[in-house]
Every structure is written in C-alpha cells, then in structure tokens.
Structure 1
Amino acid sequence: MGRSRGVAVVVAGLVLVVGGCGEGGTDEKAAEASAEPKPTRSPSSSPSSELVEWVGDMCESTVALQNLRKESAADLKEIRDSDDETGMLAQAHALSYLTSTPADVEAVAGDLEALGPSGVPAADRLRDALRKKVRSVANELGAQSPAVGLEYAESTVADVDKRVQSLTPPEPDLPALTKKVPRLAAAYEQAEQCAPGWKPDGSSGEGDSSAPDRPLPKAADGKNYAACSDGACEVLVTSTADITAKGTKVHVIVADDSITVGGRRDAVRRRGR
C-alpha cells in the first residue's frame, strides 16, 4: 500500500513537473525578454538639428500666414466701418492695405521657396503644396494695382482679403503629420516656433515703435494733388495738403505717427510680419 502510494506520488509529481515545464518555459522566455535592455526610442525617431530647424521654419511660415489672415480681416472691417463722410480716410487705408499686403504674402512665399527638403516625404509634400498655394496668391496680388477709385476701394480690398483668407495649410497639416511620424513629432516639440503663442522677433504688437519702418510706397501721381479731382489718385503727402476729390475738399495733415483728414485724427497703422 505504501509503495503504490509512493508511485502515485511520483507519477503525480512527474505530471506536475511536465506541466510546469510547459508553462514555465514560457515564463522563462518572458523573464529573459524582460531582462534584456529595451531601447527608449528607435534611432529613426530621434530628430536631427536640421529637421528641428526645418520644422521651425515651417511653423514660422504658418504663423505668418495666420497673422496675415487675421490682420487682413481686421483691415477690411475697419474700411467697411469707416464713418468718414468724404471717404478719403477709407481710401487712404485701402491704398495702404493694397500696398503692404502683397509684399507680406510675397515675403512668406520667398521663405517657403528657400526652404529645402526635410527628408520626410510627407512633410515635403506639405511644403510643396503650401508653397504652390502661396506663390499663386502672391503672383495674383503682385498684379493688383493699389491705385483705385473711391468707389472701388472697398470691393478691391474685399477681393484681396478673400485671396488672403485662402492661405490655409493644406491637409494633412504639420500637426496632423506629427501623429504619424515620430521623429517629426519630436522635432515639432523641440522647435520654438511651433510652441503655442510664439511670436516672431520684433513683433510685440500693433504700434510697436521698435519695429522697423517700411519705406513709403512710390506715389503714382507724386504731389500732383489735382490728379485727385476725379476721385482716383495716388499722391504723396509729407506734411500738409488741401485735396479736392469729386468736388469735396479735405485738409490732410501728416505728423509723427498720425494722419488727420478733414479734421479727424487717426493713428497710422504699422504693418509687419
């Protein structure tokens, strides 16, 4: 009886050992695998300094276009809401807008065209699509004449604003691509221009006296104020002038950073990227 019990124990023990080996083999392999050092990040996901710089430049161009769309919409609203009875102030604002906006778009187009390949195919396709879109609008606005009549000022600005508002990043945009490409995401995190609320150097806001002044645009009619008699002119006023447009006389005073038209004084807007 005792011997058969011993055999039974051995048999039972063998069964347990065999069963344990089957399960224990898996555990041993898992233990060995867990003991091996794991890479924290694959080499391909670590961004180079060149990629970080490239992503930063793309973010900077994106921010510039975002600011352009915002400023353009604000300018159009101011021109439409102008309560100047003579319309001269609205025209002056429109001429300023039509002169500066094409230059701003051209600047972004130039930055994108100077941006080389990133080494990430999807990112390069985004750059190419955005570059093509901005260049197309820049060429269209470059052919736009700032010399328009009073009756066309608002509609012309509205047409330019419509084109500026079209300057949105193609889909998928850069943030969307970072969700698919790890090293692009790492570069996005490191690029300071991609941080929320980032602003270009020297652009602390409207009216910043530290921002460099732009040269005055060339006036097609120079100081020939008589050219304004039909309501359509482009003249240069550096101090004071009496201008008659379609029978309406206005007195213009330019001093410091302000302009007074017909007795109303408004701050001169300084635009810049």
Structure 2
Amino acid sequence: MVAASAAVLLGVVGCTPSQAVSTPAASGAETLPFSHVHGVGFDPGDGALLVATHDGLFVVDEAGDANRVGPVIDLMGFVVAGPERLLASGHPGPDVDLPEPVGLIESTDGGRSWDPVSRQGESDFHALATGDAGILGYDGELRRSTDGVAWEPADIPAPPAALAASPTGPEVLATTSQGLLRSADGGATWSEVDGAPLLQVVAWGEDGATVAGVEPSGTVWVSADGAATWQRGPETGAPVQAVAVGSADDGAVRIAVVTTEAVLLSEDDGQTFEALTGL
C-alpha cells in the first residue's frame, strides 16, 4: 500500500547523493517528466509503477518512460487499493466533469477513468490510506470510513503529512512534525513510535511487515517488523515527494521513491536505488 504526502514537515536540508543511488545506464531525462508529485504506488496486479501528480496519473516503465493515464486531475491524496483499483482526491482539470474539490474518487481500471464515491465538493484529502483498517483521509480533519461512503471524524495529536495502513491488520502510521505516530485501532487512538526517525512520507508493504519511510531531506529508512525497528538506507540527494513499497514476482521487496529530481527504484529491500528518470 501507499500513502501520499501532504505538506512538508520541516525545512529541507540539502545533502550529497550516496553511492547507493545510481543514475540510469542510458542517458534518460534530465528532469522529471511531471511536476508536483503527490503519491506513488505499485499496482499489485501487474507491478506497474504509478505516479500521481498535479497533471494526472502517469505510468513509469523500466526504461524511465512516463505515459499519462486517464484525465487530467490534480491527484492530491492517492492510494493503490488493489489490482487496477485506485482511490484519490484533489481537483478536477479542464473538461473533467467532477466537482471542486473532487472528494473521494475511485478508479477500477488503473486510472483510465474515475468515479465519484463521496464528499464531492467537500473534501480535498491531502493524505489517504486504505488497508485492513478501512479508509483514512485527512482534509484538515482526520476522517475514517469502512466503505468510503460514510465517514466519521477521528482525533490525532498532530496533522499528518502522510498516512499508511497495514494490509494485514488494524495498524496505521502517520508522519507528523511531532514524529511518527502509530494507531493500533484503525485511527481511533494514537501513540508515538519510540526510536523512529522523523519521516516526511511512509508506506506499508503488501507483506504486512515491510515499512519504508523517507526523511524530508531524502534519507531512506526501512523497517522489516512493522515500524518497530528501523535500518538506515541511502540518501537520495534531493527532497522527497512520495514513497511506495511493493513486491516483485520472486517475492523481493521493491521500494520506489520520488524526489524533486528523480524517480528512484530499489529491488533489494532499499539497500540501493537506481534512477529510472530524472537526475
């Protein structure tokens, strides 16, 4: 599963790219083919890498080519909910017949088309998560739903920049300026995660154990035990915009990180990253 970033938590500090982040073997693009990335995710059906942006949804292939899918919608909150099933929020683009804001919208064809679900004209969810706990969204207030239609408000100690829900239990993570928060009851109550790094974005893997997060400055962190303990990974060399965790056909963990300069992919549990596009 994937969670989308909302607002920058801290002032961004520049850093030098680690040797664990490599540029593409081919020359590739010098800049990102899209701007204002709000979310990223892997489709569990075909493994496609999906990037939600100010200008709509893009699929980035292994060669680094990015192709837009579907209408131009400023996808703010974004989460992959299953094979070709996506949930999002944001603002309609020109000639898109959706209210402003779009509320919660759903695609069941991999983003080629979108249908309204709830809170049209009311909510612009800047953070979304879905998992065993249901759907959580933040539009200035944290809201919970079991079906995406009926919502109830929930309390949280600090505004979340990103939300991530476990696919195998009721646990939810939230990145905040106060630190990483965990809920063991689907977002009803929250507590600080002791010893966790201060993260801008966070994502929960399909295995229910792998969690990846990135600091505002771009340092990657990976947990193999559901965010209980963390292993520091490479520095991406640029401020982060979004992160996702997926699985390869052989069961290996894939991690995608989108910075302001590149789309990075790791296929070795976050130990090394290769730039698919950008840099």
TM-score, normalising length: structure 1: 0.22
Please state which structure has a larger fraction of its residues in helix: 1
Which of the two has higher C-alpha Rg? 1
TM-score, normalising length: structure 2: 0.22
Please state which structure has a larger fraction of its residues in strand: 2
